[in-house]
Amino acid sequence: MSEKKANRLTTGLGILLALILLLRLMVYVIPEGEVGVILTFGRPSSEEPLDPGPGIKWPWPIQQVRAVDARLRTLQAPFSQVMTEDGSSVLVGSFLLWRVTSPQKFLELGSDAAAESQLLEALQTAQLEAVGEVPFGALVNTDPTQLRYAEIEARMAEVVRQTLAKRGSDYGIEVGFVGIRRLGLSEEATGAVFNRMRAERTGSADTILAEGRALASDLRAKADAERETALSAARGEAEEILSQAETEAREAYAVLAEDPDLAIYLKKSEALRKLLQQRTLVVFDTTQPPFDILRPAVAPVDSGTGDGR
């Protein structure tokens, strides 16, 4: 390889490196999700933020580009005491979603912490104002139609914007959303809440027991009534069966009308048969037929001695 060729290669590489360095110094890229600004000798060159994408600038130290994350950020206000419209003391904790829309203004604040400090102050003011405009029942209520959270949160966002505007600048910040993240009562008030909760539960326990007893009583009474109804129906049915049987018996007994004397005699005969089936002392007159035929068969005995057995 010739010396000339090596020199050309070295020169080419040098030019390439110089070009890369120049491009590195002059070309900037703003990624999507960020907003940027060109600073010429430390001052913003224009009011409009740089859109995402590539661009050309003078090399440092003449110009430099600052990019700021333009996505939503979160900020939480501490759990602090607020008086509602009707004088109730509540503890409210809220949060704020915000983003940078103008890096020129935002960079005036110097840092993210400074921006958050401004926003936090505005958010606490908003908490006080927005919650102070509604009664306690708009915050907690078993009737959902009485709750006014949408109104409260919208009002808080509005107050934050107004507070920033009053300071002469919005710092290039857009307030995206304000919400309530925590709600409570003061430590003193919770004591009263506990007393009420205890009283409610005690009443509830009594009610539950009373319900149980009433239910049990109802069930027992219903069972007794159903039993009586069933027995009554059964007795009615039994009577009907017997009545039917009596009717059928009467039909059978109708034949007895052909000779009532015989019927009566048979009845008497039957009665006598039944009577004599019991342990009975029967006294016959042996002087009268047919017992007179017994007289020779029985030896006379003394009454009551049992010797004549």
Partner 1 sequence: MSEPERPSTPESPSPQPGNPSPQEKGGAGATALDEAVGLAFRLLQVSIVVLVLVFLASGIATVAPHEVAFVQRLGSLGEEPLEPGGHPSLPLLDEVVRVDLRPRRVFSGRFDVKRRPSELMEGTLEADEEAGFDPSVEGYLLSGDTSAVHVTLAASVYPDQPRQALLAARDPDALSALMLERATVLCAAERRADLLLGGGKSDFKDAIADRLQRGLRKVGSGLAVKSVEFERDVTPPRQVKAAFDAVREAKQQREQLRLDAERYVAQRDGLARSEVARIKARAAADASRIKDRASATAAVFKNYLGAWRANRRALQDRLLAEVLTDALDDVEEAFVISKGELRLRLRRDDKARTKDLEEDVLREMGGPR
Looking at residues 237 to 296 of the shown chain, list those that interact with partner 1 (rule: CB under 8 A): 237-239, 241-242, 244-246, 248-253, 255-256, 258-259, 261-263, 265-266, 269, 272-273, 276-287, 290-291, 294-295
Smallest separation (angstroms) from partner 1 to the CB of 215: 6
Shortest distance, position 213 Cβ to partner 1, whole Å: 6
- Asked if 233 is part of the footprint of partner 1 (rule: CB under 8 A), the reply reads yes
The reply to whether 167 sits near partner 1 by the rule CB under 8 A is: no
Distance CA 253, CA 243 (A): 15
Helix (H) or strand (E) holding 5: helix 3-26
Amino acid symbol at 4: K
Regarding 64 and contact with partner 1 (CB under 8 A), the answer is no
Does 119 sit near partner 1 (CB under 8 A)? no
- Which of 6, 18, 19, 165 touches partner 1 (CB under 8 A)? 6
Q: Which residues contact 290 (CB under 8 A, 6 or more apart)?
A: none
For residue 106, give every residue at least 6 positions away whose Cβ sits within 8 Å of its Cβ, in sequence order, or none.
68, 100, 115, 171, 172, 173
Smallest distance, Å, CB 228 to partner 1?
Answer: 8
Radius of gyration for the chain, computed over Cα atoms and rounded to the nearest angstrom: 57
Q: Does 220 bind partner 1 (CB under 8 A)?
A: yes
Of the candidates 132, 130, 153, which has an alpha carbon nearest to the alpha carbon of residue 89?
Answer: 132
Taking CA 289 as the corner, what is the angle to CA 287 and CA 293, rounded to the nearest 5 degrees? Answer: 80
From 64, 95, 108, 129, residue interacting with partner 1 (rule: CB under 8 A): 95
For residue 197, what is the enclosing H or E element?
helix 187-253
**Least separation in angstroms between CB 134 and partner 1:** 12
Q: Examine residue 16 and tell whether it contacts partner 1 (CB under 8 A).
A: no
- Give how far the C-alpha of residue 136 lies from the chain's centroid of Cα atoms, to the nearest Å: 23
Binding of residue 149 to partner 1 (CB under 8 A)? yes
Q: Which two tokens stand for residue 198?
A: 């205890």
Q: Does 114 interact with partner 1 (rule: CB under 8 A)?
A: no
Dihedral angle sign, alpha carbons of residues 118, 119, 124, 126: positive
Q: Which is nearer to partner 1, 48 or 206 (CB)?
A: 206
Map tokens 């007994």 to a residue: 253
Least distance (Å) from partner 1 to the CB of residue 63? 18
97 binds partner 1 (CB under 8 A): yes
Measured from the CB of residue 189, what is the shortest distance to partner 1 in angstroms? 7
Task: Give min distance, CB of 8 to partner 1, in A.
Answer: 12
